[in-house]
Structures are given as C-alpha cells and as structure tokens.
Amino acid sequence: MEIIENVYIHIPFCDSKCPYCDFYSITTQDNSIKNKYVSKLLEEIEQYCDIISPNIRSVYIGGGTPNSLDALSLENLLTGLLNQIHLAEGYEFTVEVNPGSVTEEKLKLFKEFGINRLSVGSQTFLKKELKTLGRTHSPQDIFRTFNTARKLGFNNINLDLIFSIPGQTINSLIYTLNKLAELDPEHISAYMLTYYEGTEFYRRSVKKDLIKIVDDIEVEYYDFVKEFLGSKGFEHYELSNFSKKNKMSNHNLNTWNFGAYIGLGTSAHSFYLDSRWFNDNNVKNYIDLKFNKYPNRSTLSLTDKKNEYIMLGLRKTSGISLENYNNFFGNTIDFDFRKKIGKYLENNYLILDESRLYLNPEKINIYNSIVSDILLD
C-alpha cells in the first residue's frame, strides 16, 4: 500500500503581515504560544505514524516565517521531528527563511539538524519595491543571509522573486534579475504578483489606491524573466520555478506528480490515496483542541482525480507522462480527455507526442484558461 514520504510543516507566525500575502499567519511575539504550537505539531505527526513511511524523502518547513520561532522552539521541533521520522538517503529538507530576521545562529542550527535546502524570501533587490511589498528586509539582508548560508555550507538555495510589483519597470526588473544571477542560487521561484481576495493589496486595488501593472506588461515581464533565467543556465521546469541542473524542488515535484503528502499545522493540507484533508486557520484552536484525525476530509471521485492529475501535471514544462497516467488510471489520457483537448492539440497550444502531453512553451502564460477549459465535467 502507498505510504506518505513527503511532509509539510506550517509555522504560522510572522513579525509583520505583508499586504499581498494570503498564507495563514499571525503576528505575535509571545514565545509561549509558539512553544505550545510546536508541541502540538509533534503530537499531530504522531497520530499519523500508521500512514507515514519509515523513510521520508522530503520535509518542507514553510509559513509564515519558520525562523520567527526562537532557537529553543526550533531545536525542540527538529529534535522531536527527527525522533519520529527517519530521513531516506538522498532526502531533501527545506526551510523557508526571512532574510530580514534569520540569524547566523539559526542557520547554523538548521545545518546541524541536517537541513540541506533553504528558501529565502528575497522578492526584489530594490529598496523601493521591497517597501511597496511591505517587506521589512533590505537588499543587503538578502546578500548577508545568502552569503552566510553559503559560508555554512548550504549548497542548495532557492531565492523567491516577485515581479509585476506596482511601479516596477523593465529596468528595475532587470536590476533585480542581475542581482539574483550575481548570487548564483541553485533555484529561483518567480511569481507574478497576485491580488488575492482578502488581502490588503486586493482591497487597495479595488479602491484604485494601487496601480496594478497591466496584463500585457505582466506577460512581457514573465517572458523576460523566463528568457533571462534561461540565458543564465536555469531550466524552466514549472510555471513559476527555475532550477540549475538536478536542483529541482523534489518536495514540490511530488505534489505536481500527484504524490501523497502530509501537512501538519494550521491551514496545512494533506493528500493520501483518495482523500484530501486540512487543518483550520486558527492557532488558538490548534493549540487548545484535542486532535481530530483527518479534519475536513473529502474523498475524491475518479473524475476529480483525473482532473487534478491534469491540472497539476500540466504545470510542469515536461507535462504528463502518458505511461504514468495509464498506470495510474488504467486507461489512456487520449481516451479520457480527447474530446476536451482536441482543439488545443489542433491549434498547437497542447502537444501530445509518443510519451508526453504538455503545454506549448509559448502558451504557458495562458495555462489557467487552457486547463480550466479541458477539465472533465
């Protein structure tokens, strides 16, 4: 039977809230809440020991801001976690860090516990754009964090980039891309700024208090980012992700390949066999309530599974392996989706060769509209 080899842990604490962010996090300096939260995380993982593999291939600690936990809580979390799981050979263990607040002491701690990948929330190298995004770090903080991590031996670092920031010009984007390339990370996640409902940026954009970059320019910026990173030796392997050779994010690839994973902590989602479940967005409830295994569980129908397989798989530039689809569902993608994908194959938006179905790289910027049109009813 399939078992879970990939673990996500959500740390829902930030020093301040960025106005564009829709991840669940709260701003508190109260270490007792954070300590209690860590204890509950360790209780939560324990109750899933029957479905978690004895050999874990990837762990991802994200947030929020994981380094907003004090050193003692981080040590408790990592000790408790590694007492309960065993990392498989060749594992990937990522922690997200905020360049404005992570200290050398905490980076050392991560290294000592076997964390071998860092994801740095850099976003842009221009002070003015960082301010627009409500980020509290400076461009120098990114250099400091990156160089300290390198000095400590981290040889797999992701830098996050946000583009289409209000006021951004092609020249300011080029400036940031050049700085990114100068640091020479192994991986870059490049996201177009999104105005998620419920965020401060969304409200301000509705009130026209924030001037969004227009759609055509956003596409130009996206194309420019792809071209620039390609010229610097990064492979574009997923809509928003670029990596040096053999440095793709295994944790995320597992999700796009429809693999099982468990999410621990507030707002974390899990997927296993036919089920998805998720924890609510509430630190207080998470700390106070007795655990209910598989909260908010839903069962996926066969059609749901096929649709999710397509949605996730087409995010990758390599697309979907026809053989894997066939092995998973017992019939061919062509049989299941021909009526839906026919017109996109004819106009060359989608490509079906002898082994894969994938998006024409030139049409990747309209992924959303193509995918929403080809899902089964």
In sequence order, which residues have a C-beta less than 8 Å from that of residue 200 and are 6 or more positions away? 17, 19, 20, 134
Q: Read out DSSP for 54-95?
A: SSEEEEEEEES-GGGS-HHHHHHHHHHHHHH--EEEEEEEEE
Q: Is residue 253 within the footprint of ligand SF4 (CB under 6 A)?
A: no
Asked if residue 319 binds ligand SF4 (CB under 6 A), the reply is: no
Give the DSSP letter of residue 364: G
Query: Should residue 202 be labelled a site residue for ligand SF4 when binding is judged by CB under 6 A?
Result: no
The answer to whether residues 63 and 96 touch, using CB atoms and an 8 Å cutoff, is: yes
Kindly tell me which of 25 and 255 has the beta carbon lying closer to ligand SF4.
25
Among positions 66, 99, 121, 259, the unique one binding ligand SF4 when judged by CB under 6 A: 121
Which residues on adjacent β-strands are paired with residue 13?
26
CB of 295 to ligand SF4, least distance (A): 22
Q: How far is the CB of 13 from ligand SF4 (least distance, A)?
A: 8
Considering only 7, 14, 81, 159, the residue that binds ligand SF4 (CB under 6 A) is 14
d(CA 284, CA 33): 8
Structure tokens at 6: 């990939």
Residue with Cβ nearer ligand SF4 (65 or 307): 65
Contact (Cβ atoms closer than 8 angstroms) between residue 138 and residue 130: yes
- Across 207-291, the runs of DSSP E, i.e. the strands, are 235-238, 241-243, 262-264, 269-272, 275-278
Report CA-CA distances (Å) from 111 to 56, 78, 118, 152, 217: 18, 11, 10, 7, 41
If binding is defined by CB under 6 A, does position 132 make contact with ligand SF4?
A: no
Residue 98 in the binding site for ligand SF4 (CB under 6 A): yes
Tell me how far CA of residue 329 lies from CA of 26, 168, 277, 376, in angstroms: 41, 45, 22, 14
Residue 365 binds to ligand SF4 (criterion: CB under 6 A): no
Subset of 38-97 contacting ligand SF4 (CB under 6 A)? 63-65
Choice between 80 and 134, CB closer to ligand SF4:
134
Q: Which C-beta is closer to ligand SF4: that of 98 or that of 122?
A: 98
21 belongs to the binding site for ligand SF4 (CB under 6 A):
yes
Cβ-based nearer residue to ligand SF4, 57 or 135:
135
| Size, binding site for ligand SF4 by CB under 6 A | 11
Which among 20-28, 188-196, 247-255, 276-284 is the span making contact with ligand SF4, rule CB under 6 A? 20-28
Q: How many angstroms separate the most distant Cα atoms in the chain?
A: 60
Interacting residues with ligand SF4 (CB under 6 A): 14, 17-18, 21, 23, 25, 63-65, 98, 121
